[in-house]
């Protein structure tokens, strides 16, 4: 029995130290007003999708709904990258957490001024042990209206 408990303790100790459960981005209510230094509050909702990781990042991009309607992995104008491993585990394990994404007037006007936009979050992760790391990614999107 002691041997089984010891083996279980070794197995648990070999797992990644942190995991995130990032399912979607919350909808933005109202109209976002872009200024020279504005930041869009991208609130992530955590839940059933578990991502064990040794590296976890999110890249944000801005697009228009008509551009994304073409399908595929089109994401739009690159905006910002954020290393989620810099967050304390208490933040990333919470039901929601927010990252302020720089989204300026220049970004919005480069895509035809006011109207509907889509913020895409490209979540990338690596898991496993070197040299056998497994890489993956998935897209999360939220639509909102913006003005300048």
Distances (CA, A) of 144 to 23, 26, 141: 18, 11, 10
How open is the CA angle 102-91-133, to the nearest 5 degrees?
85
Q: Domain coordinates of the chain in residue numbers?
A: 17-147
Measured in degrees and rounded to the nearest 5, phi and psi for residue 36 equal -60, -35
pLDDT tens digits, one per residue of 77-132: 999 999 988 888 778 777 889 999 999 999 999 887 788 999 999 998 888 887 88
The CATH number of the domain covering residues in 17-147: 2.60.40
The Cα 84–Cα 21 span in angstroms is 12
Mean pLDDT of the chain: 83
Q: How confident is the model at residue 9 (pLDDT cuts 50, 70, 90)?
A: very low
Phi-psi region of 57 (alpha: psi -120 to 50; beta: other; left: phi over 0): beta
Residue 120 in 3-state DSSP? strand
Residue 87 in 3-state DSSP? coil
Residue 35 clears pLDDT 70, i.e. is over it:
yes
pTM: 0.81
- pLDDT at position 32 is 97
């Amino acid at each position: 029995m002691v041997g089984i408990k010891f083996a279980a303790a070794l197995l648990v100790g070999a797992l990644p130290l942190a995991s995130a459960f990032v399912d979607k981005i919350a909808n933005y209510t109202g109209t976002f007003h872009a200024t020279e230094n504005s930041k869009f509050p991208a609130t992530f909702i955590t839940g059933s999708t578990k991502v064990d990781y040794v590296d976890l990042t999110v890249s944000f991009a801005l697009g228009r709904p008509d551009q994304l309607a073409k399908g595929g992995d089109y994401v739009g104008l690159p905006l910002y990258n954020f290393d989620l491993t810099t967050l304390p585990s208490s933040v990333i394990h919470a039901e929601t957490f927010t990252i302020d994404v720089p989204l300026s007037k220049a970004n919005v006007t480069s895509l035809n001024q006011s109207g509907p936009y889509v913020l895409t979050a490209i979540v990338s992760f690596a898991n496993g042990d070197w040299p056998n790391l497994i890489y993956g990614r998935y897209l999360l999107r939220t639509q909102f209206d913006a003005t300048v």
